[in-house]
Amino acid sequence: MENTNLIDQEQAFEESKEKIFELLEEKKYFRCRDELLKFNAVDIAELLEEVMRKYSMQTAIILFRTLPKGASVEVFAHFDVDDQVEIINIITDPEIKYIIEELDFDDMIDVLDELPANIVDKILDKTPKNERRQINTFLKYKEYSAGSLMTPDYINLRKNMTRREALDHIRDVGMNSETIYSCYVLDGGRKLVGVVSLRSLVLADENTKVSDIMKEDIIFAHVDDDQEETSELFKKYGFIAIPVVDNEDRLVGIITFDDILDVIEEENTEDMERMGGVIDNTDKDYLDTPVLMHVKARLPWLLVLMVSYVFTGGMIASFEKSLSAVIALVAYMPMLMGTGGNSGTQSSTVIITGMATGDLELSDVLRVLWKEFRIGIIVGICVSILNYMRIVAFDHNGSLVALTVCLSMVLIVIIAKCIGALLPMIAKKIGIDPALIAGPMMASLTDMVALGTYFTMARLVLKI
Amino acid sequence: MENTNLIDQEQAFEESKEKIFELLEEKKYFRCRDELLKFNAVDIAELLEEVMRKYSMQTAIILFRTLPKGASVEVFAHFDVDDQVEIINIITDPEIKYIIEELDFDDMIDVLDELPANIVDKILDKTPKNERRQINTFLKYKEYSAGSLMTPDYINLRKNMTRREALDHIRDVGMNSETIYSCYVLDGGRKLVGVVSLRSLVLADENTKVSDIMKEDIIFAHVDDDQEETSELFKKYGFIAIPVVDNEDRLVGIITFDDILDVIEEENTEDMERMGGVIDNTDKDYLDTPVLMHVKARLPWLLVLMVSYVFTGGMIASFEKSLSAVIALVAYMPMLMGTGGNSGTQSSTVIITGMATGDLELSDVLRVLWKEFRIGIIVGICVSILNYMRIVAFDHNGSLVALTVCLSMVLIVIIAKCIGALLPMIAKKIGIDPALIAGPMMASLTDMVALGTYFTMARLVLKI
C-alpha cells in the first residue's frame, strides 16, 4: 500500500489477495511473501487462512515458512486455534520451540491449552523449570476466568523510583512486556500499591518520584472472576489494562484491552444465541462444528419446549367442542399467539439490554411494570382497533367473533408485556442468565396466556 | 479504599454510598466530598447520579460544586447526556465556560450536540474564532459516523524528528492530547504518512529517527464511515487509537479505544433489539423514555406482522371444513408453529452471529444450507419420535393423526432450519441488517410454512 495516497484499504486487500493467489498458482512463493509483508499481521493471518481453505494447509505452511521469523510468530498468534494446532502438528520441533518461546505469554497459554497433553509435555520438557512452573499455574486457571485471560508480562515498578529510574527500567524490560502503558507498583510482598501510566511518567518533571504520580484507587480483577465481569470493568472505566490479583491479594498478571475486545464479542454472541434458543458450548466456527454438535446445541431447547406444547395442546383439546361450534375462532389463534409472543419478546429484549448496560436495576421492577402496563394498553388498543375493522370488513365473521378476538388481543398484549418485563428480572434475581429466558421460553408462556385468555373471552362473549 | 488490603471493590463502593447518603442527610457536604474523592471519576459520576435520583438535582449540584475543579470536569464527562444538559441549565455561566473549555474535545462536542442552539451560541460566543470554526466543523459530522466519534487532539510528529525531539514534543503538547500512545506522522499537506507508538519511541535507541520506527501500513477510518465499521477495525486489529481522514486524505482526528467500547455496546444493544422486534431510535435509558416513545418503537413491527396473520388466518379459514371433520388436528397447531419458529430462530441466530464475527461469508451459503438440512433431519426425527409416542399414548388420538403431526414436524423443522439460515444471508446480500429479519419476521414465515405443511400432510394422510 502506498501511504502517500491512502487508497481504499479493503480494495487494496482484495487486489493483493488476487495477486497472491496468482503468484501461488505459479509457485512464486517469495514474491508472494513480499506481497504479504505489505500488510498487518492480522491481515497476513487472514490471507494465509484463505490459502488453507482454497489450496491446502501444506501450501499455507510453505508460505508461512517464508515469512521473517519475527513476523511469523505474530502471524501465528492471529490464526484460529484449530489452525494453530494443525500447524503445530505439521511443522518441525525446532520451529515449534521457536514459535512457542516467542509468543506472548497469554497467546502461548491459549495454544498450549488446546494441544494434546503429550505434545505439551514435549514442549515443556525443554523449558526452564521456573517458566514451566509458571506455565502450569496459568494452564490451571478456569476457562472463562480473568486468570485465563491474563499475562504475567507486566512492568513492575517501586514506589521510591525516580522518573528517570522508572523510564530506564521500562526500557530495559519493555521489549518483553505485553504493554508498557500501564505500570504496576508493588510492595515487598508483591502486593499492588499503585498504578502509573506511561503517560504520566513521560509528562512528569525530571525529579518526580513514582509515588508522587501513582494512582492508589486501583480497579482490579480477581483471578477467579468471570471474564464477563472483567469485561464490564473495561467498559466502565475505559482502561488500557487491568491488574489481576490472587487469593492473597498479590499481583499475578494483567489483562489488556485488546484481549477484552474478543471477550466482549464472545459474550455478545452467547447472549444472542441464548435468546435464540441455542446452547453452544464450543468456541468453534459454524462450519468447523460437526452436525451432531449443532444438534446437541439445539435439540435440548426444542425438547424442553415440547413440554409447554403438551399444555397448549391440552387447553385446545378441552375446548374442542366449543371450537367446532364456532370453527371460525381457530383462524385467529396464530395471530393472538404470535402477537402475544412478539409483544412479550419486545419487552424482554428492552429489559435485558437495559439491565446489561446498567440503565435498569432490579429495584426498578415496579416502575418497569407500570410502564409496560401503559405501553401494553396503548399498543393493544391500536392493534385491536385495526383488527376489528379488518375482521368485520374482510373476514365476514360476525361482530361478536371480532369482539372476542379484539378484547382478547388487548388483554394478551398487556399480560405478555408484563410477563416479558418481569421474567428477565426474576431470572436475574435468582441468578439465571436473563437471555436464557427471553427467547423461546417467552413464546411458550405467552402461547398459553394467549389461548387461555382467548377461550375465556369466547365463553364470556359468545356464550359457548 | 486502603490499597494495602485490596478489599472487595463493590462492597467498598456500597459502603461508601451508604455513608455518603448519611452525610448528605446531615448536610455535611464537605465530608461527603472527601468520601467521594476516594473513587475514580466514573464512580463519582455514578454516585452523584444516584444522589440526583434519590434526593434532587439541586443536592447533586451542591455536591458537584464542592469537587476540586479538575475532578469536576472529569466527573461531568461521565454523566449521562440528559443529566449534563440539565446541569448546564442550572449552573452559572462562568461554571459552564470552565467545564466546556476543560472537557476533552470529543466530550465537549457530545455535550454541545445535545444543548439547545441558543445556549451553544452563547457558549461559542466567548470562544476564539479558530476554535469556534473547528467546533462547528465537528458538530456537522453525521451522528453514528467516525467523524462524530473523533477528537482533533492528537500528537503530530515529523518524519525527520529524532527520538529526543519527538519525546520533547510529546512532553510539550501531551497534556492536551487525548492519547500520547499513538502519534501520527504528517507530511506538509497534513497527509498521514506513518504511525509511531510511544512504546517504540521509548524503547528505541537514542539516535533513532521517527522515520526509522514509524509504521507505514496504516489502518485508518474515513470521517463518513459508519461507527460500526470503525468498531470492526478496533476489534480486528486491537489498536489503542485509529486515525480518521477526510475526503482529501488529510488527517482530521483520531478515535480512541475507550470511545469504541461504548459504540460496541450500542451496536450490540441495537442488534438484540432488532432481533426482539424493537426499533429504537433514541439513546435514552428505558425509564427516561416516555411511554409513547416506547409505543413508537414497538407498534410498527406488530402491525407489519399483522399482515402475515391475515395469511395464516386465511390458510386456516380455507381449511376450516376439514378441521371441523378432524377437530383433534387443531390441538397440534401451536406445537408445529412453535417448533417451526424456534427451529428457524436457532438457525438464524447462529448464522447471524457467525457472519458478525466473520466466521461465515456469503459465499458459504451452499455449505450452510447442506449443514442445516442435515441438522434439520436429525432434530426433526428426534422430536417427532418422542411426539408420536406421546400422542398415541396419552392423547388417545388415532395413529393416523399422530402420523400426520409427526411427518409434518420433520418437514417443518427441516424447512424452517433452511429458511432460518437463508434469510439472514439474503438480508446481508441485499444490504439489510440480518437481525431485522431474524426475530419476529422469522416466526411469521415459519408459521405459514408450518400450517401449509400440516394441512397438506393432513389431506394426504387422512384423506380429508
A299 contacts in chain B (CB < 8 Å): 379, 382-383
**CATH label of the domain that carries residue A323:** 1.10.357.20
Distance to chain A for B276, nearest Cα, Å: 5
- Pick the last residue of a domain from A241, A275, A309: A275
3-class secondary structure, B156: strand
The phi-psi region of residue B178 (left if phi > 0; otherwise alpha if psi is between -120 and 50; otherwise beta) is alpha
Cell 394426504 sits on residue: B460
Considering the domain architecture, whether residues B163 and B134 belong to the same structural domain is answered as no
- Choose the closest CB to A202 out of B171, B323, B447: B171
- Work out how many domains chain A is built from and give that number: 3
Considering the domain architecture, whether residues A170 and A59 belong to the same structural domain is answered as no
- A313 found inside a domain: no
Q: Is A310 an 8 Å CB contact of chain B? A: yes
3-class secondary structure, B281: coil
Cα B62–Cα B68–Cα B70 angle in degrees, nearest 5: 120
Per-residue pLDDT of A127-182, as tens digits, reads 888 888 888 888 889 888 999 999 999 999 999 999 999 999 999 998 888 899 99
Which B residues 242-261 touch A at CB under 8 Å?
245, 249, 257-258, 261
B313 contacts in chain A (CB < 8 Å): 331-332, 334-335, 395
Note down the domain range covering B404: 314-462
Considering the domain architecture, whether residues B257 and B159 belong to the same structural domain is answered as yes
Considering the domain architecture, whether residues B37 and B133 belong to the same structural domain is answered as yes
- B377 found inside a domain: yes
- A1 found inside a domain: no
* CA terminus-to-terminus distance, chain B: 77
Considering the domain architecture, whether residues B333 and B262 belong to the same structural domain is answered as no
Asked if residue B3 has pLDDT above 50, the reply is: no
Q: Is B5 an 8 Å CB contact of chain A? A: yes
Considering the domain architecture, whether residues B90 and B175 belong to the same structural domain is answered as no
Asked if residue B464 has pLDDT above 70, the reply is: yes
Per-residue pLDDT of B138-168, as tens digits, reads 888 988 899 999 999 999 999 999 999 999 9
Q: Is A374 an 8 Å CB contact of chain B? A: yes
Q: Averaged over B305-319, what is the pLDDT?
A: 89
Cell numbers for A394, please give them.
374482510
- B97 found inside a domain: yes
**CATH label of the domain that carries residue A62:** 1.25.60.10
Q: Averaged over A322-326, what is the pLDDT?
A: 87
Considering the domain architecture, whether residues B37 and B164 belong to the same structural domain is answered as no
Among A8, A17, A191, A269, pick the best mutation site for testing chain B contact (most B Cβ within 10 A).
A269
Cell numbers for B437, please give them.
429479519
Q: Binning pLDDT at 50, 70 and 90, where does residue A361 land?
A: confident
Q: Is B383 an 8 Å CB contact of chain A? A: yes
Torsion angle (degrees, nearest 10) of CA A330, A332, A336, A337: 40
pLDDT at position A10 is 75
Residues A198/A170, Cβ–Cβ less than 8 Å: yes
Angstrom distance (rounded) from CA A412 to CA A339: 8
Of the CA atoms within 13 Å of residue A287, those in its CB half-sphere come to 16
- Choose the closest CB to A379 out of B9, B40, B295: B295
Among A47, A215, A302, A445, pick the best mutation site for testing chain B contact (most B Cβ within 10 A).
A302
pLDDT at position B330 is 92
Cell numbers for B329, please give them.
388436528
**CATH label of the domain that carries residue A240:** 3.10.580.10
Among B78, B192, B268, B279, pick the best mutation site for testing chain A contact (most A Cβ within 10 A).
B268
Average pLDDT, chain A: 89
pLDDT at position A114 is 84
Considering the domain architecture, whether residues B133 and B171 belong to the same structural domain is answered as no
**Total count of residues recorded for chain A:** 464
pLDDT at position A350 is 92
Considering the domain architecture, whether residues B319 and B453 belong to the same structural domain is answered as yes
- B194 found inside a domain: yes
Q: Is B436 an 8 Å CB contact of chain A? A: no
> Which residues have a Cβ under 8 Å from the Cβ of B268 and sit 6 or more positions away?
A264, A268
Asked if residue A6 has pLDDT above 70, the reply is: no
pLDDT at position B7 is 54
Considering the domain architecture, whether residues B454 and B357 belong to the same structural domain is answered as yes
pLDDT at position B188 is 87
Considering the domain architecture, whether residues A368 and A409 belong to the same structural domain is answered as yes
- Choose the closest CB to A334 out of B278, B337, B374: B337
Among A46, A353, A464, pick the best mutation site for testing chain B contact (most B Cβ within 10 A).
A353
Give the residue from B80, B123, B361, B339 showing the smallest Cα distance to A443.
B339
Q: Name the residue of chain A whose CA is nearest to B340's CA.
A: A302
B395 contacts in chain A (CB < 8 Å): 313, 317
- B290 found inside a domain: no
- Choose the closest CB to B299 out of A171, A350, A379: A379
A183 contacts in chain B (CB < 8 Å): none
Q: Does the beta-carbon distance from B217 to A3 stay under 8 Å? A: yes
Q: Does the beta-carbon distance from B286 to A350 stay under 8 Å? A: yes
Q: Is A389 an 8 Å CB contact of chain B? A: no
- B282 found inside a domain: no
Q: Averaged over B402-421, what is the pLDDT?
A: 95
B399 exposure class (CB count in 10 Å sphere: 0-12, 13-18, 19+)? exposed
pLDDT at position B271 is 86
B308 contacts in chain A (CB < 8 Å): 338
Give the residue from B153, B158, B218, B220 showing the smallest Cα distance to B188.
B158
Of the segments A31-45, A401-415, B104-118, which one has the largest average pLDDT value?
A401-415
Cell numbers for A258, please give them.
485488546
Q: Does the beta-carbon distance from B378 to A295 stay under 8 Å? A: yes
Q: Name the residue of chain B whose CA is nearest to A366's CA.
A: B287
Asked if residue B29 has pLDDT above 60, the reply is: yes
Angstrom distance (rounded) from CA A426 to CA B238: 37
Per-residue pLDDT of A21-48, as tens digits, reads 999 889 889 899 999 998 889 999 999 9
Angstrom distance (rounded) from CA B216 to CA B208: 16
- Choose the closest CB to A334 out of B249, B383, B447: B447
Q: Is B320 an 8 Å CB contact of chain A? A: yes
Asked if residue B277 has pLDDT above 90, the reply is: no
Distance to chain A for B254, nearest Cα, Å: 16
Among A272, A287, A405, pick the best mutation site for testing chain B contact (most B Cβ within 10 A).
A272
- A228 found inside a domain: yes
- Choose the closest CB to A275 out of B272, B280, B443: B272
- Pick the last residue of a domain from A243, A275, A307: A275
Q: Is A298 an 8 Å CB contact of chain B? A: yes
DSSP strand pairing (A251-256 vs B155-157): unpaired
